[in-house]
Structure 1
Amino acid sequence: MAQPEDAPQQTPSHSRPKPLSRASSYLQFAPRRAIESFENLVALANHKERLKEARKIVWRDRGEPVAEMEDIWECIEHAGRGGMRAGAIAFTLRASVNIVLAMLRFGKVPREMRSTLIRHAIFGQDSFRFGAMLGCSFVTLYKLILNVLPILLPTRPPEPPPTPFEDSEDEVECLPNHTTPPRRVRFSLSAHAQQVWVRKKTPLWHAALAGAIAGSIAVMFEKQSRRIAIAQQMFVRGLQGSYNAASFKNGFHLPHGEVLLFCLCCAQIVHGLFCRPDTLARSYSTWLSTASGAPPSALDMVRDMNRTSTFDVHDIDAILRREDLIPANRTVLLASKVLASGNPPDFGPYIPCNAIHPWVESCLQVPLPRFMTVFKWAFPIYGALHFLPMFLFKWKTFISRPMTMLGKAGLGTTRSAAFLAAFVASFQSWVCLKHYLYDVLSAQKVLRMPQSIIDLFVSKYSYGLGGFFGALSILIEARRRRGELAMYALPKALESAWLTARGKGLVFKTGKVGEALLTAVAMGMVMCIYQNDPQHLSGLVRRILYQFIGPN
């Protein structure tokens, strides 16, 4: 039977449509691959979240809110977590520094001892001491005491001032109008965190007490040789923050205060170098003596003259044996030796300038060569201080603007080396100048000054005055570095002044608790400023404390 024309023709089941000669204009959907891609995206997102959480353990983000605690147990838990985190970070930092220092010694250590050196750098006593000092003691105790005190000793909130709806207009008009100066917020937190910080202020004595107790206990975990250095540095940082807070609150400012402070510190340090070298650290005294360029025997003669008004003749013999001694200076030194060896001996009011610069006769030929010598000696030292931080902490900026960064570092190195060279050259010029002034004023017959004023030029205090004038060379340095140089010199000057006063019986002896007592005072000041007005601390101290402690 014939089929109708419009009936569909049956095709065999095994037949397939012919492939198209062009690419398809639609996306072919593969469910299995799509699910795998979605799972990969979810895994990647989870991985990023885990990395973000791990980063928070190591690095505290800006704008972290204040932790609110209701009972003592929450305070203990909060302090314990913060202490363990701080201890781990401190241990890692100290171990990393030790590894770098150990690698610098590889050239002097046999190959078979290098692994032992690295192992000791990581798991040595220093790493555990540093971690225990910062984490297990200071951060834990500070967080615990600071957050427990408001719970144990709650303070009443201040009563709001009366409103016009409650009091008469006359009483309202008599109310004092308290105005406060606008706050200048400079610490690196978000705007919300700044507002929370300002509103969550603690009483001053809470932070001071917590810092004092935690600091005095924490410093005992370090070696005894390092305790005094830590206490001194924190003490001057506390003084810096207290001064900034007081000056901002009272509205006064001392122009060039950092320059004046540095000059006073240098006056005390130079006085200690030439009168009481035992009040300075041995390494620091040696560094200053090397920078001066004067023969060591001449420095010993100056110290003996300041203490006993005599000097050892053997020191002149040591200078006479120098190869760079010129004949004219040899004649003067031999004459001085003869007078000092006579009966009775005559040492004169001061040692001859020929002993201080035996390679040149005229004092006028000393400053410029001394400036160039010290500049060449100090340039690589300050070069490391200016270039290394740029490579370590500003690498991205250096890659984007290499010539600008190199120019800034080179200019900073030049200014720093010129500052030290000018200091040494000006001080050495002062030593020769005061001897010349003493001779000129002593020879005056008509307008003769009082002898006490003339003797001041050859007294031991004249060296401190020269240190004050020489320190004015800090004006060569960049303004932002003057404060740091003053903070570097202040603890050394304070230690020298304290030991000098203690030798004269003017102050008491602190014994074995001196480091803990000084650290308690220092950390009390630092934490009081940090918790209430952190913008008055230096940026470095503020950032370090924030990473280890946080808002509270």
Structure 2
Amino acid sequence: MAHDDRDTLSPLSPLTVPVLGEGRPTFSTAPSRSHTPFKRRRSQSPTPSEAESEFNPSSNASIRRAILSYENLVALADAQERLKYVLANRRETLKEARKIVWRDRGEPVAELADVEECLKWALKGGLRAATLAFNIRAGFNIVLALIRLPSVPKKHRLTLIQRAIFGLDTWRFAAMLGSFVSLYKFLLNALPFLIPSIRAPQNEYPSAFDDEDDETEDLPTTVFDITVPPTPGGNTGTPVMLTHRQRTERLSLSTQAQRILIRKKTRRWHAALAGAIAGGLGVLWETRGRRVTIAQQLFVRGLQGTYNLYSSKYNFHIPHGDVLVFSLVCGQILYGFLLRPDSLPRSYTNWVASAAKVPHACLRMNYDMVRNHTVNLQDVDSIIARPEITPSNKTLLLNLKDTFLEIQTLPPGAPAPYFPHYATCSAIHPAQSSCWSVPTTRFFEVARWMLPIYGALHFVPAVLFKRSTFMQNPWKVLFRAAIGTGRSSAFLGIFVIIYQSMNCFKNQSHEYLSTLSPSSPFYPLVQKIPKSVIDLLISKYSFFVPGLFSGLALFVEEKRRRPELAMYVLPKGLESLWIVATGKVGLKRWKGGESLLTAIGMGMVMSTYQNDPQHLSGLVRRILYQFIGPN
């Protein structure tokens, strides 16, 4: 009996059918190695109704349904594979894009074959540095613009934002860093080719933290603090790294940073010359005022690295040297602030006056009374007119005016009443009658005033730059940032109350010793003290001592922040000392002086960075690595 073709089909026989609609590619049901044939059910023949509802492998409809189901699963699996591939490519693309903006730790040193490659490498690095600098400066300007935005008319807001992003300051900053990086990278890598007789060998990789740093030895090109694989074709049994002595952790460099630190070690004068030329020329893009600030900061950073290098090399250490430097500098700054305000930038003196919470009229009074032994009565009236002045302080200031007017009318040689040659306590803190109540009030005023500023400095980097740590344990990060904010605010509050408390003490002591009654039991003892010794309490140099002791407030700050604060104030103190000692205006008097100082500073900084980066502060080291890299 003849059977229809449809009835003779076997589950294992090849069948070509259209899948997923007409016009689509056809698929064969021929079995493959991974194909499993259908198994027949060992049961009686189903009824017509059962055949329609049950799977029958011998029917065309069942086979088509199976093929459709199978092909759909294949298409779904293929789509999932493509999605995984796209996501993987996206991650790689984002990773590569991130490297353009942020340099990963442990980036290998670029081995360059000739001067032409050095030039290409330098131009590439300079372009990257300029782009990064442009974005950083533009982002900083946008933040400042957004803060000012509510107070700016709507028609000028767009112009303000455009100027913040594309203003001349942004282009200057980008040009300065871009040209510096280009020149430095070219000179650093090209000098061994330009002067081949002193070119360093290419096959040694000593320890990155070797203390035995001899200038006459053959220096390596590349220094790793991680295991370096053997040179291809070389002796695979000999380790590439050479360890001369046991390493110890130094300064603020963490163990993790020691393990991943990679940079090109060169002869010191190579890095110093490259840094000096690149720094001295690159800074010329900035305005003259900013060049002075940049030169000062780079110079003290170079001094810091040089001091750390030689203190480690010759094994000497000054305990709490950062606090000592900070105290000496603060003594000079506060002396200049009160008696030589011309030795400090106006913006800086305004900030110090705001932090001191002292009336500006009081500062002018103190200057006139100490240096000229006179007083401007308008300044006294200005303090008397303040709404927060207490009645007792108002009375004392009125008596001061009367005494000054009385002295002006006395004939020559006549005995004069006691007139202070300093701003009195009633003018320094008009809202507090007693000097004993000043420390508590001043502490909370200053700490509350600085709380938002220090809060931003502690919270923003913790959230933005340590995002993974923040996501893992946000409460711990926020708690540490809050503690840091409190310590920084307390540091400045304690700094202010130390100075003002000592100032009140010496003023009150001088008045007491100068006006002591003969009936006092201490009068015979005080009479034996020369008046010149008593007057030392209110001499010009007495204003240096409270600033010296105020620097002890730095112990409140976290230890790792103390060197940064000392390095921040050191340029201001050195500039003030120079102007006070010489009467000259420092770098601004010499044409090109700021460029010369920048060259000296960058020579010291880059020499330390390329050979002993652990002696630089963590902030400087990380910034240089992001812009320059290993070489």
After TM superposition, the score normalised by the length of structure 2 is 0.75
For 1:224, the equivalent position in structure 2 comes to 288
Is 440-449 or 406-415 further displaced after alignment?
440-449
Q: Per-residue deviation at 1:71?
A: 1.9
> What are the residue-to-residue correspondences of 1:137-536 with 2, within 5 Å?
137-154=179-196, 155=198, 182=247, 184=249, 186=253, 194=261, 197=263, 200-341=264-405, 342-343=407-408, 347-442=419-514, 444-446=523-525, 448-503=528-583, 510-536=589-615
Q: Per-residue deviation at 1:92?
A: 1.9
> Are residue 20 (structure 1) and residue 32 (structure 2) matched?
no
CA contact (8 A) 2:265 2:610 kept: yes
**Partner Cα distance (2:152, 2:395) in 1:** 50
**Partner Cα distance (2:366, 2:259) in 1:** 61
Q: Per-residue deviation at 1:542?
A: 1.0
**Partner Cα distance (2:453, 2:75) in 1:** 64
Give the counterpart of 2:3 among 7, 11, 20: 11
CA contact (8 A) 2:587 2:593 kept: no
**Partner Cα distance (2:613, 2:532) in 1:** 50
> Are residue 53 (structure 1) and residue 96 (structure 2) matched?
yes
**Higher-RCO chain (CA-CA 8 Å, sequence separation at least 6):** 1
The one-letter code matched in structure 2 to 1:152 is: L
Aligned residues: 522
CA contact (8 A) 1:371 1:422 kept: yes
Give the counterpart of 1:99 among 136, 142, 163: 142
- Residues 50 and 392 of structure 1: CA distance in aligned 2, closer, same or farther (over 3 Å): closer
For 1:67, the equivalent position in structure 2 comes to 110
**Partner Cα distance (1:40, 1:316) in 2:** 78
CA contact (8 A) 1:502 1:509 kept: no
Q: Per-residue deviation at 1:454?
A: 2.3
Deviations 1:133-154 (A, max 9, x none): 111x100000111111111223
Q: Per-residue deviation at 1:483?
A: 1.8
**Partner Cα distance (1:532, 1:183) in 2:** 17
**Partner Cα distance (2:345, 2:388) in 1:** 30
The one-letter code matched in structure 2 to 1:460 is: K
- Residues 436 and 192 of structure 1: CA distance in aligned 2, closer, same or farther (over 3 Å): closer
Q: Per-residue deviation at 1:189?
A: 8.0
> What is the DSSP-based 3-state SS (H/G/I as helix, E as strand, rest coil) of the residue aligned with 1:61?
coil
Is 274-283 or 381-390 further displaced after alignment?
381-390
**Partner Cα distance (1:183, 1:457) in 2:** 49
**Partner Cα distance (1:415, 1:459) in 2:** 34
Q: Per-residue deviation at 1:290?
A: 1.9
Is 330-339 or 535-544 further displaced after alignment?
330-339
**Partner Cα distance (1:159, 1:369) in 2:** 61
Deviations 1:455-491 (A, max 9, x none): 2210111111011112212222222222222122112
**Partner Cα distance (2:621, 2:314) in 1:** 22
**Partner Cα distance (2:556, 2:307) in 1:** 25
The one-letter code matched in structure 2 to 1:80 is: L
CA contact (8 A) 1:63 1:189 kept: no
**Partner Cα distance (1:104, 1:392) in 2:** 19
Deviations 1:489-520 (A, max 9, x none): 11221221122223169x78742312211111
- Residues 304 and 373 of structure 1: CA distance in aligned 2, closer, same or farther (over 3 Å): same
Is 427-436 or 411-420 further displaced after alignment?
411-420
- Residues 10 and 57 of structure 1: CA distance in aligned 2, closer, same or farther (over 3 Å): farther
> What is the DSSP-based 3-state SS (H/G/I as helix, E as strand, rest coil) of the residue aligned with 1:105?
helix
> What is the DSSP-based 3-state SS (H/G/I as helix, E as strand, rest coil) of the residue aligned with 1:103?
helix
- Residues 398 and 52 of structure 1: CA distance in aligned 2, closer, same or farther (over 3 Å): closer
RMSD between superposed Cα atoms in Å: 3.2
CA contact (8 A) 1:63 1:190 kept: no
Is 279-288 or 431-440 further displaced after alignment?
431-440
**Partner Cα distance (2:274, 2:606) in 1:** 8
The one-letter code matched in structure 1 to 2:509 is: L
CA contact (8 A) 1:502 1:508 kept: no
The one-letter code matched in structure 2 to 1:432 is: C
CA contact (8 A) 2:587 2:594 kept: no
After TM superposition, the score normalised by the length of structure 1 is 0.85
More helix by share: 1
**Partner Cα distance (1:33, 1:325) in 2:** 81
> What is the DSSP-based 3-state SS (H/G/I as helix, E as strand, rest coil) of the residue aligned with 1:366?
helix
Gaps of 5+ in 1: 1-8, 161-178
For 1:4, the equivalent position in structure 2 comes to none
The one-letter code matched in structure 2 to 1:12 is: D
CA contact (8 A) 1:69 1:75 kept: yes
Is 114-123 or 416-425 further displaced after alignment?
114-123
Q: Per-residue deviation at 1:113?
A: 3.5
Is 343-352 or 354-363 further displaced after alignment?
343-352
> What is the DSSP-based 3-state SS (H/G/I as helix, E as strand, rest coil) of the residue aligned with 2:348?
helix
The one-letter code matched in structure 1 to 2:169 is: D
For 1:126, the equivalent position in structure 2 comes to 169
For 2:17, the equivalent position in structure 1 comes to none
Q: Per-residue deviation at 1:274?
A: 0.5
Is 364-373 or 31-40 further displaced after alignment?
31-40
Is 235-244 or 375-384 further displaced after alignment?
375-384
- Residues 62 and 271 of structure 1: CA distance in aligned 2, closer, same or farther (over 3 Å): same
CA contact (8 A) 2:390 2:431 kept: yes
Identity of matched residues, %: 50
Q: Per-residue deviation at 1:538?
A: 1.4
